[in-house]
Structures are given as structure tokens and as C-alpha cells.
Structure 1
Amino acid sequence: MVIQEQIRIQTRGRNTYNITGEVSEAIGRAGIETGICQLFIQHTSASLILCENADPSVRTDLERIMSRLVPDGDPIFDHTLEGPDDMPAHVRSILTHMDLSLPISQGRPALGTWQGIYLWEHRTHPHQRNVTLTL
């Protein structure tokens, strides 16, 4: 049996958003004890990551390095239709992940002790993001 569900996340702009709870709740509703949870974000300017969930400075440091690698307003970019963060957001999402596959064990994501599932918003303005879960 395959179950598919969509979760919506309202972002407040560039940041990481812990969606572990929403994913765990979807798995619980599906009643799947053992299996695979595949997540896919339906956007080209946000991504999904597994990240340390205990120390928020890890995610701050990730943002710092990404800002150094792909700065907003870099004159190398022609695609600036939606502003100086437009093309950098696309590059950031390609460098990270638009999908994740996670094992399900005992009815929940089989994550490591310090792992959390995050939506990483790469745009500076708020957006509503859709993540499809296939279980």
C-alpha cells in the first residue's frame, strides 16, 4: 500500500524550519510501522535537509557558508526577475536537496539521535511551501 500526503509550511523568509514533527505525524496517520518515507519539495528555491537538531548554531553556520558560496546580488547572475535573491535561491536548492528518503521504523522516522528534518527556505521573503510525502 502506498500513501501520499502533502504538508504545507509557511515560511517567514530565509531560514531553516524543523518539519520533523509534521513528517512524524503523517507517518503516524498512515499507520506504517516499517517502510520508507520519501519527501519531495515542490519548489526550486527551497530545499530539504537532514541536520543537527540540538545546536542551532549548526544551521546558522550552514547559512553563513552558503551566503559565502552563493551571495545574493552577485553580478554573475542574469536571472534576477524576482530580486537579488532569486537566482541564488535556485543555486542553493540545487546544491542541497529537493528530496529525502528516510527509513520508517516502529512507526516513526528512523533518525539518528541528533538528526532533524528541515525545510531550508532560500528566499528572503515569506513563502508557502508544499512538501509531498510518499509512504
Structure 2
Amino acid sequence: MNRAAPAGHVAQNNFTVHTRGRGFSEITSKVAELVSASGVQTGIAHIFTSHTSCSLLISENADPAVRTDLERWFARAVPDGDRIFEHDAEGPDDMPAHVRAILTGVSLTIPVHGGKPQLGTWQGIYLWEHRVDPHQRKVTVTVFGH
């Protein structure tokens, strides 16, 4: 006899990240707090930002030089004011910010076990602001599971 799996649980919350301009804001503890509050013990956490000029990523959280090196590499790969870009409605960092967000992504999916996001020892969750000026960025965390 096949038995249906018990119905799962879904919880969704939003929070705002106030960036200081281009750079990284660690959001690991906020995501962990929302996962814990969801009541889900085993499942998936989906993290999403509804913006086109910032991104989400998992990166090493022990050595800040990793994030400095990422920023330095992207400054070479997608420089502000590059003449190949037509779209510059909001300034020379406008289109480069969009390219950076497309390359790095606006969502993450992380397994949940024991009511916690299952990150590696040296992993942290970051919102990466790609614009030069400060912004307020909305992040949505949806947790599915049992």
C-alpha cells in the first residue's frame, strides 16, 4: 500500500537590506533566523531579491579578501562607463550593474536540515550591491518542507 507523504509547510517572509553602495552585505544570520522561525526541520529555503542591479551569492565568509578579489575581478570584466553599453539611464554604473546581477543571479536555493540552512563551514550568504550609491533591497525567503 502506498501512503501519501504528509502535507508540507510553507513560510515566506521579507526583509530589507540597506546597502552602503557597491559591495557585500552578509545576510546569513537573517536567513537562518527566518528558516528557524518557519518551523521547517527538513526542506528547502529559497532566497530571492526582486532587483536587477544587485545579486545574491554564497561565498567564503572567513577571509574578506575573497570578496575584495571578486569585486576587483568584476571591475575588470564589467567596468563602469564601458562604451559598449548603450543603456546608461541612471549613470555609468547602470548597465554594468545589470550585467553583474545577471552573471551572479538573484536567487539561491539552500537545503534545510534540523531547522537550519545547510551551509558549509566557510560559507556565508551575501547580497552584493552592484550600484555605486546606497540602496534599499528587498529579499524574500520562502521555506518549504516538514
Q: What is the TM-score of this pair, normalised by structure 1?
A: 0.98
Q: Supply the distance in 1 between the matched residues of 2:113 and 2:39 (Cα, whole angstroms).
A: 11
> Residue 62 of structure 2: which of 54, 60, 63 is its match?
54
Name the residue aligned to 2:123. Answer: 115
Indicate whether 1:104 and 2:112 are aligned.
Answer: yes
- 1:82 aligned residue (71, 85, 90): 90
Match of 1:24, as an amino acid?
A: A
Which residue, 13, 25, 31 being the options, matches 1:5? 13
Matched with 2:80 is: 72
Q: Which amino acid aligns with 1:76?
A: I
Tell me the amino acid that sits aligned with residue 48 of structure 1. L
How many residue pairs get matched?
135
State the alpha-carbon separation in 2 of the partners of residues 2 and 112 from structure 1.
24
SS across alignment from 2:126: strand
Q: What TM-score results when the alignment is normalised by the length of structure 2?
A: 0.91
Task: Provide runs of 4+ in structure 1 moved above 6 Å.
Answer: none
Distance 2:20 2:80 in 1: 18
For residues 9-48 of structure 1, the aligned pairs below 5 Å read 9-48=17-56
CA distance in 1, matches of 2:41, 2:142: 14
Q: Distance in 2 between matches of 1:49 and 1:69?
A: 18
Structure whose alpha-carbon radius of gyration is higher: 2
1:54-73 CA-partner distances (Å, limit 9, x unpaired): 00000000000000000000
Secondary structure class of the residue paired with 1:2? strand
The letter for the 1-side match of 2:37 is: R
Supply the RMSD in Å over aligned alpha carbons: 0.6
- Unpaired runs of 5+ residues, structure 2, are 1-8
